[in-house]
A = this chain, B = another copy of it.
């Protein structure tokens, strides 16, 4: 812990890995590509789950659980789906000491098995919509893995809904994209661009995919939640049919949407700095840490009871902890900065005399972020400061994102921009043109933003007429 963290500017990737390990968010595991999510990282995930789950339930969804194992034949029923996932599958061939008749796939996502079940449950329009979400683990065998960002096994939620009409399914798809955007902006303090995925970037088996896209601290993009309108593709593959009001059999319209532990990586990369993690107060496992400051036993016995009484004052309102370790204040300051605790409450012998404390903001270094506050009424002061930190973190991330997003006037300018930021550019929508851009610049279409300038232009690469503007960037 004594060694200084690698500077973000020096080696972003190394900086990221060091933070994850030193802040005890996750550990490498002995199983290739799988990680261990340690309590501090998992508590952050629990807080993220709570924020999302509340929103899912408020929009009428219920949770359920579907099997981990999926018969291989199920995946093969939707051609694009199996083509997309086949290279990443982990397969159980033996169980209970015997070879299985049909290999079982460890779910990479559950459209197929859920489609099969919905076909059993849906008979008439009265059974629709089905609005189900699942919190579970999935496996996608990856060759190059990164803690949180890309692991063979990850945790996520996958929502799966079935509807009587295309319009209703499309509305659901967009509603859940809004839910993700709302969570990202208001809870994660991460500004996002909601948009449609290009044909080549969409989910295997979807008619239309939407995503929210965020800019990381190294100006690369991270896809941060996706929502898919699946049309009748899975309904046809799995025979999800219902009798409509006119007593005719119709295929249902389905959607799916997901958000994963990958976004823990997003929080680290958007907010972290050379001192370590910087967690948004709404999600931080510890929102404020009380650090008692003393040089000897006399001072300790003067300060500790006050530190504890401050904790008692705050515990019903915020997630607070007293650091009573036998270490120097400097060590403790560094340690909690590394762990990204939004607010430090310092209390020393003089503070005890004066009935004050020092509040030190994680997001504002040095004197600017320090203030003296009376111990009386601390709850209100802390609550209000956490709210300020939350909104300032969003503001800071938004300014950074906007300062690094440019509108190229030419393809040459485009190439320079995507080396170090997002390019917002007119694009023809052609798959071949997109492939060439990727080949030449390593930048991909992140999304075609829902918010468009209107009118039309010419494609930044091929010069053909373009109806829409797309976001291009290098991406995780």
Residues of B within 8 A of A70 (CB): 31
Question: Please, how many angstroms separate the alpha-carbon atoms of A117 and B26 in the complex?
Answer: 11
Residues of B within 8 A of A90 (CB): 69, 92, 94-96, 104
Question: Please, how many angstroms separate the alpha-carbon atoms of A37 and B87 in the complex?
Answer: 29
Question: Which of A1-9, A135-143, A443-451 interfaces with chain B?
Answer: A135-143
* Chain B: minimal CB distance from A100 (Å): 9
* Chain B: minimal CB distance from A333 (Å): 20
Number of copies: 2
Residues of B within 8 A of A91 (CB): 92-95
- Among residues of B, the one whose C-beta sits closest to the C-beta of A91 is B94
- Among residues of B, the one whose C-beta sits closest to the C-beta of A93 is B93
Q: Which listed residue (B64, B94, B116) contacts A37, Cβ 8 A?
A: B64
Q: Does A97 contact B (CB under 8 A)?
A: yes
Q: Does A67 contact B (CB under 8 A)?
A: yes
Q: Given A37-B64, A42-B65, A91-B95, A71–B31 Cβ distance below 8 Å?
A: yes
B155 and A65 within 8 A (CB): yes
B88 and A96 within 8 A (CB): yes
Q: Which listed residue (B71, B94, B136) contacts A137, Cβ 8 A?
A: B136
Question: Please, how many angstroms separate the alpha-carbon atoms of A142 and B70 in the complex?
Answer: 17
Q: Which listed residue (B36, B66, B96, B141) contacts A66, Cβ 8 A?
A: B36
Bin the interface of chain A by size. Answer: 35 or more
Residues of B within 8 A of A136 (CB): 137
B68 and A137 within 8 A (CB): yes
* Chain B: minimal CB distance from A99 (Å): 10
- Among residues of B, the one whose C-beta sits closest to the C-beta of A114 is B36
Question: Please, how many angstroms separate the alpha-carbon atoms of A152 and B139 in the complex?
Answer: 18
- Among residues of B, the one whose C-beta sits closest to the C-beta of A130 is B39
B64 and A36 within 8 A (CB): yes
* Chain B: minimal CB distance from A142 (Å): 8
Question: Please, how many angstroms separate the alpha-carbon atoms of A63 and B66 in the complex?
Answer: 22
A87 and B97 within 8 A (CB): yes
A112-133 residues with Cβ-Cβ distance < 8 A to B are 113, 116-117, 120-121, 132
Q: Does A35 contact B (CB under 8 A)?
A: yes
Q: Does A209 contact B (CB under 8 A)?
A: no
Binary B-proximity of A20-61 (CB < 8 A = 1, otherwise 0): 000000010111001111110111011000000000000000
B69 and A39 within 8 A (CB): no
Question: Please, how many angstroms separate the alpha-carbon atoms of A120 and B74 in the complex?
Answer: 40
Q: Does A106 contact B (CB under 8 A)?
A: yes
- Among residues of B, the one whose C-beta sits closest to the C-beta of A153 is B68
Residues of B within 8 A of A37 (CB): 64-65
Please list the 6 inter-chain residue pairs (A to B) with the smallest Cβ-Cβ separation, ordered nearest first.
A96-B141, A34-B67, A39-B62, A37-B65, A90-B95, A91-B94
The interface of chain A, by Cβ under 8 A from chain B, is 27, 29-31, 34-39, 41-43, 45-46, 62-71, 74, 86-97, 103-104, 106, 113, 116-117, 120-121, 132, 136-137, 139, 141-143, 152-153, 155
Cβ contacts A to B, 9 pairs, < 8 Å? A30-B113, A36-B65, A68-B106, A68-B153, A69-B90, A89-B95, A90-B94, A106-B106, A136-B137
Known pairs A36-B66, A89-B95; list 9 more (Cβ under 8 Å).
A30-B113, A31-B70, A36-B117, A42-B63, A45-B65, A46-B63, A86-B97, A87-B97, A92-B92
